[in-house]
Amino acid sequence: MSERQIELEVLRYRPEMDDKPFFQTYSVPCQEEWVVLDALNYVKDEMDRTLSYRWSCHMFVCGSCGMAINGEPKLACKAFLRDYQTKIRIEPLSNFPIERDLVIVQDDFIEKLESVKPYIIPKQEKPIDQGEYLQTPAQLKAYKQYSMCINCLLCYSACPQYALEEKFIGPAALALAHRYNMDSRDVGRSAREHVVASHDGIWACSFVGACSQVCPKDVDPAGAIQQVKFTSAVDYLTSFLPGGKR
């Protein structure tokens, strides 16, 4: 197997001992088929036990290892070394406070995810012994794409609006709200509306689309937000019609 020497420039920050973040360079002997995560694991095992980062599944599905690689938000387990030159710069995801090294604080996202009521709100509870709700493949398709989000936060890191305004609910949480709104088993749209269609919800999005570009799961949060804007606008206008909610 062929080997390649890679220079990893890794952002380090340990709040108890470092005044401010700095870069540390590791020269790592890498196998050609490795991903950036493998190189980091090599550093951790063989060179520097003090480097911290999150990871688990190594198969693009747990969403733990989001980081900025050469400035781009990526999953470290999906960033193949073959696509990079010999020098690679690795930083924590931007737009989040650094907890330590490549580990970011994600409380804000978790709160936002919780705020959109991401669960089925049924019209009426159906007893289990009556079996499943029928849902045709077409009905499944209506929301399936938006259910693929692994909460990796790459989209928040890429989002210019979130960078400016921390209150913005943001791409993944809005896409998740849309996922439930579009589910044929759910009638919870109005219960989610006060968050989703608020000042900090869909209307804050300036539709740059960076979120959809970086998403490793093709969730297309930007598309979801556009769709929600459309339906909310229709709702709003309908509410002025005779018999409307207003």
For residue 20, state whether it binds another protein (rule: CB under 8 A): no
Q: Least distance in Å: CB of 202 to another protein? A: 20
Residue 19 contact partner, candidates another protein, ligand SF4, none, CB within 5 to 8 A by sort of partner: none
Beta-bridge partner residues of 89: 9
Residues in 142-201 that interact with another protein by CB under 8 A: 143-144, 147-148, 150-151, 176, 180, 183, 185-186
DSSP code of residue 35? B
Torsion angles phi and psi, residue 93, rounded to 5: -55, 135
For residue 5, state whether it binds another protein (rule: CB under 8 A): no
Burial of 211 (0-12, 13-18, 19+ CB in 10 A): buried
Q: Least distance in Å: CB of 49 to another protein? A: 4
Q: Which residue has the tokens 């900090």?
A: 200
Q: Which residues bind ligand SF4 (CB under 6 A)?
A: 149-155, 171-172, 175, 214-215, 217, 219, 221
Of the candidate spans 19-27, 49-57, 156-164, 226-234, the one that interacts with another protein by CB under 8 A turns out to be: 49-57
The alpha carbon of 52 is separated from its chain's Cα centroid by a whole number of angstroms, namely: 20
Local structure of 154: helix, strand or coil: helix
Q: Could you tell me if 206 and 221 are in contact, meaning their C-beta atoms sit under 8 angstroms apart?
A: no
* N-terminal to C-terminal alpha carbon distance within the chain: 70
Residue 235 contact partner, candidates another protein, ligand SF4, none, CB within 5 to 8 A by sort of partner: none
Q: What span, in angstroms and rounded, lies between the C-alpha atoms of 139 and 137?
A: 5
Q: Per-residue contact track with another protein, 98 to 137, x per CB under 8 A?
A: -xxx-x-xx---x---x--xxxx-x--xx-xx-xxxxxxx
Q: Least distance in Å: CB of 127 to ligand SF4? A: 34
Q: Could you tell me if 196 and 116 are in contact, meaning their C-beta atoms sit under 8 angstroms apart?
A: yes
Residue 171 belongs to what H/E stretch? Answer: helix 171-181
Q: Least distance in Å: CB of 224 to ligand SF4? A: 9
**Rule CB under 8 A: which residues touch another protein?**
1, 14-17, 33, 44-46, 49-64, 78, 80, 99-101, 103, 105-106, 110, 114, 117-120, 122, 125-126, 128-129, 131-137, 139-140, 143-144, 147-148, 150-151, 176, 180, 183, 185-186
